[in-house]
């Protein structure tokens, strides 16, 4: 329907004339400022240096770990160097110790000799020095009741005692003949963001469709209950190491955490790449004895019970008491250095704010960068921040009224292609008009959401409180297919051109939101949707996809 | 031009009428036998079990290693169990000791802690126990003369002494926005195999276009000379470990060999995945001291100087003195278990012959399976075999005259889609007609070649002698993009449906070649192309793509 050459124009015309939308004056856009923002983002970018430090020097940045805290301190120091004010770490209670893997080596030593590729499961103990032991495998009954599982495990006690135990059958991962696209399709995105008749977002693998809690028949155990019971059984039988299957192709490993965050509840545990798990499982299935060497060194940090959000500001002028926020989560999983999840979100936001500061743009409202901890454990840092600073629509603090929006990036290296804001249609119109001058960089529009459910990333902590969280939709590139939570999430997977362009677009949005006469329109009074009934479970089980997966459109469930 | 529904028919009509082709009777096809072959290949396949043993139990099967010999012995025993005759290992002189990596673990221990992913370079020594040392990096001058390289290295002697040395700048590997197709395009393949006006084959990455020896200006060192000089320098300065960059995305590592096959000429050497090499290089570039732990255990096998080809036969009847051969190389590189390169070629050929045997088909000619060693070091096993048994067109043995063709598979898991035979157009016509009943499985046709150059796989050892080598063209699947010579070349990457269908097609071709009244037509007398002038270098340098890469069409250069 719309041509690529002028994709925004018809939308704006429609927005001004369609009965369902509030008629409004066009949003004032400062094209001269936008040109300066583009030049700074392109010619004097700091973003790759920021990304290098966040990933290579401080990665992985697991919540509660000294790496995470050091990264937060570095980010604040860096922003202060750039001239930001009020840089600080704001404490929040994580309640679990910090944990880091320091070493992991694993080898099959008989009947073949090979180095294995694996990752430690977070918040489990390491081995007490190098372990050499026979391997065995537990192929659990499917969807068992508690009694069925107990009967099965009781029968395996002698078989597992003192051994290295592969848990699960191992997953065949066929060649993928339907590779995920690297860029969003323009027509699809346009339809999704159509302000008059938006189409429901299409989610790829790992998106919300894959995140539904499995339906468990009455009397049957949930996957988490099964996992707890298996871990207790393995600990009771002095199993030396538990091994889970990576279950993904091309050696990818997604390593999550021991749900209890307590080393005593699980044996030392590692996730082995599917290829190595499969080889051992097939050798065992032949009846061949298999012997493994495993050496895992993990370290616990009691001080990790206190975690941090890193914040810094660019002071506003005549509307300094009003705040535009932007950020992303600084914490990461531990299988790699957390480049696309989410050093990029952090670096894009730091860079966007740096551009505004370094160009001397003097925003009317205060701009505040916030870099969260605990996102991967359930948006913990941003939830704590919102609760403390803003409360909720139903129980607001004084800051609630003067909040002008929170921009969030958390979907990998792909450039931003659209936005979703919690608020009335007028909020969507304003964002569309602010982003319109960047259609040449690929951004298509903005949509609105009324959902107060928390979802895959920190913007939904704001939505849940009734505040305008703004989630950015991005090109998928290799996010769900390769980098999200995997051992491949490194600096190498950053597309420099994309992250620079994202920073330019965010800088402009930030500036224009900070300069307009009024705050971004919000739901008020009876328009405010009811709070979501209950939060979903926030901790992934080690063998299942993480329920905190960032969605393709982060502010929708 | 041709429709999918009857793709072979127009080709055959054209073959019978076009002036450039010899007019001939249609090839007799036994459709009832083909139906039995399909059923056996589909319903009673042994191929996945063969692949499991070749990869999981005996992989990697590096030439000269006990694994390779044990795999060869197992294959002969298995074929004897299936009723094959004359199973044996035929010796040939490899001239180098065997070598295997038994253990490899590498960690960065300062300023960050992380387990690294790497593979040992074949035919280098391990470390003498675990090594902990500072890392440094050599960024070599580009295209140096001998003097320039010497000057550079002399200046670095103090900097490298006793350290772990990263050699090379490290290669940025951008996100690949042009993913390789998994299946061959039907129209492309049809044009390539057009018997009247064949189009030159299109090669993908890693095909011949990428395998041209680099042009070196007079006075400048070749990459191999540079590598030798660097290794000598590193040994002289007691460098603890040399580290090369994997240089590929998604953690892929292709590990080749020390060109000298002599541990004294190089330090202990490993190839690190690009992501880990890059991280260390960037930390060093900041001026941060980096400390590494490396522990590599390699073992040498003096008895590996003698290597083996494994052969077994199905005896013929009235034409038993004439031989149809089929095979593939059994040896592999060592970074994984050599599934797609080339356990699949071996297993497809063993399975094809098994089908003929188990169905009691009583071929007129003798069928001989040959599983080569030394392919990865330059087609050594097949060259030795051809020289001993057949000689050349210019100096033939008695067996030369009674040879009826050699079928070879060596391009990964993709099903066969076409063939290329060294011989006159009539040989191509016969293969086209033999394969035509399998067009529903995707095979498109056959072409001919006059080249006697040795190329990427063993069929060209026959071509070089002036004998009808038959290379099978296959669907690319993930071969050049993921599995060829990489640490991802495991059982998991086998597409079961494809290898089963390939086996059925080969079994039929084998049977029909063994039953026809005449041998496959060959070049005779003055038609015989001249021998190729000189062999290309056969040993890959550790930092460059292997010159022995199997081509997309294995019998062409």
pLDDT, tens digit (0-9, with 9 covering 90-100), for B9-55: 444 434 434 434 445 679 999 999 999 999 999 999 999 999 999 99
Helix/strand/coil percentages in chain B, nearest 5: 35, 20, 40
**Position B494 pLDDT exceeds 50:** yes
Q: What is the Cα A296 distance to its own chain's centre?
A: 26
Query: pLDDT above 90 covers what percent of chain B?
Result: 85
For CATH 3.50.30.30, the residue range(s) in chain A are: 98-175+208-299
Contact A274 B492 (CB under 8 A): yes
Token pair of B36, please? 């039995």
Specify the residue for token string 């402009």: A508
Encoded tokens for B119: 């593979």
Whose tokens are 């036998």? That residue is B33
Contact A101 B117 (CB under 8 A): no
B213 against B22, higher pLDDT:
B213
pLDDT band at residue A25, thresholds of 50, 70 and 90?
confident
**Does pTM surpass 0.90?**
yes
The candidate with the shortest Cα–Cα distance to B438, out of B35, B79, B48, is: B35
In angstroms, what CA-CA distances link A425 with A20, A122, A522? Answer: 9, 42, 9
Take residue A460 and report the two structure tokens written for it: 């939904």
What pLDDT was estimated at residue A24? 63
Nearest-CA distance A291 → chain B (Å): 14
Contact (CB<8Å) A115/B105: yes
pLDDT of residue B522: 96
Q: Which of A22-36, A166-180, A509-523, B14-28 has the lowest mean pLDDT?
A: B14-28
Residue of A nearest to B334 (CA): A114
- Whether chain A has a CB inside 8 Å of the CB on B102: the answer is yes
Q: Are A217 and A148 in contact (CB under 8 A)?
A: no
Which residues of chain B lie closer than 8 angstroms to A105, CB-CB? 105, 107, 115, 295
The DSSP result for B490-527, as a single string, is SGGG--HHHHHHHHHHHHHHHHHHHHSSSPPP---GGG
The Cα–Cα gap between B193 and B197 comes to 8
What confidence tens digit (pLDDT) does each residue in A133-153 have? 999 999 999 999 999 999 999
CA distance B18 to chain A (A): 39
pLDDT at A14: 42
Give the pLDDT of residue B524. 87
| Chain A CB within 8 Å of residue B62 CB | no
pLDDT digits over B328-380, tens only?
999 999 999 999 999 999 999 999 999 999 999 999 999 999 999 999 999 99
Q: How far is CA A278 from the centre of its chain?
A: 29
Among B57, B288, B495, the residue with its CB nearest the CB of A175 is: B495
State how far Cα B364 lies from the chain centre.
31
Cis peptide before A60 (omega within 30 of 0): yes
* Model confidence band, residue B552 (pLDDT cutoffs 50, 70, 90): very low
pLDDT per position as a tens digit, A413-464:
999 999 999 999 999 999 999 999 999 999 999 999 999 999 889 999 999 9
Considering only CA atoms, which of A457, A443, A377 is closest in space to residue A409? A457
Taking the CA atoms of residue B258, residue B261, residue B263 and residue B267 in that order, the dihedral angle to the nearest 10 degrees is -10
Domain with CATH 3.40.630.10 in chain A: 45-97+303-518
* CA of A310 vs chain B CAs: smallest distance (Å): 22
First to last CA, chain A: 28
Instruction: Using alpha carbons, select from B296, B311, B273, B249 the residue that is nearest to residue B106.
Output: B296
Q: Report residue B230: phi and psi, to 5°.
A: -65, -45
Centroid of chain to Cα B454: 13
Q: Which residues contact A509 (CB under 8 A, 6 or more apart)?
A: A407, A419, A431, A434, A435
pLDDT at A173 > cutoff 50 = yes
Q: Give the chain A residue whose CA is nearest to the CA of B120.
A: A115
Torsion of CA B373, B379, B383, B385, to 10 degrees: 20
User: For residue A214, what pLDDT is reported?
Assistant: 64
pLDDT digits (tens, 9 = 90+) for B421-479: 999 999 999 999 999 999 999 999 999 999 999 988 999 999 999 999 999 999 999 99
CA atoms within 13 A on the CB side of A469: 34
Average pLDDT over residues A523-533: 93
Is B251 in contact with A275 (Cβ distance < 8 A)? no
B376 touches chain A (CB under 8 A): no
Nearest-CA distance B538 → chain A (Å): 27
Contact A406, A379 (CB under 8 A): no
Q: With DSSP H G I counted as helix, E B as strand and the rest as coil, what are the percentages for chain A, rounded to 5?
A: 35, 20, 40
Count of positions (residues) in chain A: 557
% of residues, chain A, pLDDT over 90: 85
**pLDDT recorded at residue A534:** 67
The answer to whether the Cβ–Cβ distance between B57 and A274 falls below 8 Å is no
Rounded to whole angstroms, the Cα distance separating A54 from A337 reads: 8
pLDDT of residue B372: 98
> What's residue B30's pLDDT?
98
The CA-based angle A356-A362-A368, given to 5 degrees, is 60
Contact between B115 and A103 using a beta-carbon 8 Å cutoff: yes
Q: Is A113 on the interface with B (CB under 8 A)?
A: yes
Q: Residue B2: its pLDDT value, please?
A: 30
B413 touches chain A (CB under 8 A): yes
Taking CA atoms, what residue in A is nearest to B61?
Answer: A112
The answer to whether B270 faces chain A, any CB pair under 8 Å, is: no
Chain position carrying tokens 């995105």: A189
ipTM for this model: 0.91
CATH fold for domain A98-175+208-299: Glucose Oxidase; domain 1 (3.50.30)
B282, A56: Cβ pair inside 8 Å?
Answer: yes
Chain B interface includes A117 (CB < 8 A): yes
Give φ, ψ of A118 to 5 degrees. Answer: -155, 175
Give the mean pLDDT of A277-299.
98
Which of these, A264, A267, A262, A302, lies nearest to A123 by C-alpha position?
Answer: A262
Per-residue pLDDT at A549 exceeds 70: no
- Do residues A136 and A159 touch, judged by C-beta distance below 8 A? yes
- A45-97+303-518 belongs to which CATH class? alpha beta
- How close A482 gets to chain B, by Cα (Å)? 8
């Amino acid at each position: 329907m719309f041509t690529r050459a002028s994709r925004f124009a018809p939308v704006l015309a429609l927005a001004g004339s369609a009965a369902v939308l509030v008629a409004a004056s066009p949003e004032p856009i400062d094209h001269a400022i936008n040109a300066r923002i583009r030049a700074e983002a392109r010619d004097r970018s700091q973003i790759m240096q920021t990304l290098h430090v966040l990933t290579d020097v401080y990665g992985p940045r697991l919540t509660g770990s000294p790496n995470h805290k050091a990264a937060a301190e570095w980010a604040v120091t860096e922003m202060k160097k750039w001239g930001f004010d009020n840089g600080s770490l704001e404490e929040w209670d994580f309640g679990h110790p910090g944990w880091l893997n320091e070493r992991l080596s694993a080898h099959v030593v008989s009947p073949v000799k090979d180095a294995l590729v694996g990752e430690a499961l977070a918040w489990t103990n390491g081995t007490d020095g190098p372990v050499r032991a026979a391997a065995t495998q537990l192929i659990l009954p499917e969807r068992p009741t508690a009694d069925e599982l107990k009967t099965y495990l009781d029968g395996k006690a002698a078989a597992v005692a003192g051994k290295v135990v592969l848990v699960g059958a191992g997953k065949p991962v066929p060649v993928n003949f339907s590779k995920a696209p690297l860029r969003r399709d323009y027509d699809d995105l346009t339809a999704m963001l159509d302000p008059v008749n938006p189409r429901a977002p299409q989610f790829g693998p790992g998106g919300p469709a894959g995140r539904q809690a499995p339906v468990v028949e009455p009397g049957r155990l949930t996957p988490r209950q099964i996992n707890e019971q298996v871990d207790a059984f393995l600990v009771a039988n002095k199993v030396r190491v538990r091994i889970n299957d990576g279950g993904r192709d091309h050696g990818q490993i997604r390593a999550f955490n021991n749900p209890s965050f307590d080393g005593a509840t699980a044996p030392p545990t590692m996730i082995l790449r599917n290829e190595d798990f499969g080889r051992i499982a097939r050798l065992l299935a032949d009846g061949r004895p298999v012997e493994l060497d495993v050496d895992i060194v993990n370290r616990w940090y009691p001080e990790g019970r206190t975690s941090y959000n890193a914040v810094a500001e660019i002071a506003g002028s005549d509307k300094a008491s009003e705040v535009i926020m932007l950020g992303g989560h600084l914490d990461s999983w531990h299988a790699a250095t957390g480049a696309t999840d989410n050093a990029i979100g952090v670096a894009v936001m730091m860079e966007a704010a740096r551009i505004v500061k370094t160009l001397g743009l003097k925003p009317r409202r205060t701009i505040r960068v916030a870099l969260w901890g605990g996102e991967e454990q359930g948006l913990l840092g941003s939830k704590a921040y919102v609760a403390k600073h803003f409360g909720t629509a139903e129980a607001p603090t004084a800051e609630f009224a003067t909040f002008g929006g929170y921009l969030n990036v958390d979907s990998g290296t792909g450039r931003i292609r659209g936005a979703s804001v919690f608020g009335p249609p007028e909020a969507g119109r304003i964002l569309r008009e602010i982003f319109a001058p960047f259609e040449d960089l690929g951004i298509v529009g903005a949509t609105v959401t009324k959902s107060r459910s928390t979802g895959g990333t920190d913007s939904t902590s704001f939505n849940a409180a009734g505040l305008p969280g703004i989630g950015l939709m991005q090109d998928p590139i290799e996010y769900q297919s390769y980098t999200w939570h995997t051992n491949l999430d490194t600096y190498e997977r950053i597309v420099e051109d994309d992250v620079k362009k994202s920073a330019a677009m965010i800088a402009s949005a930030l500036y224009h939101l900070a300069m307009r006469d009024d705050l971004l329109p919000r739901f008020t009074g009876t328009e405010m949707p009811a709070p979501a009934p209950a939060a979903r479970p926030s901790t992934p089980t080690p063998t299942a996809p993480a329920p905190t997966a960032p969605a393709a459109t982060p502010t929708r469930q």
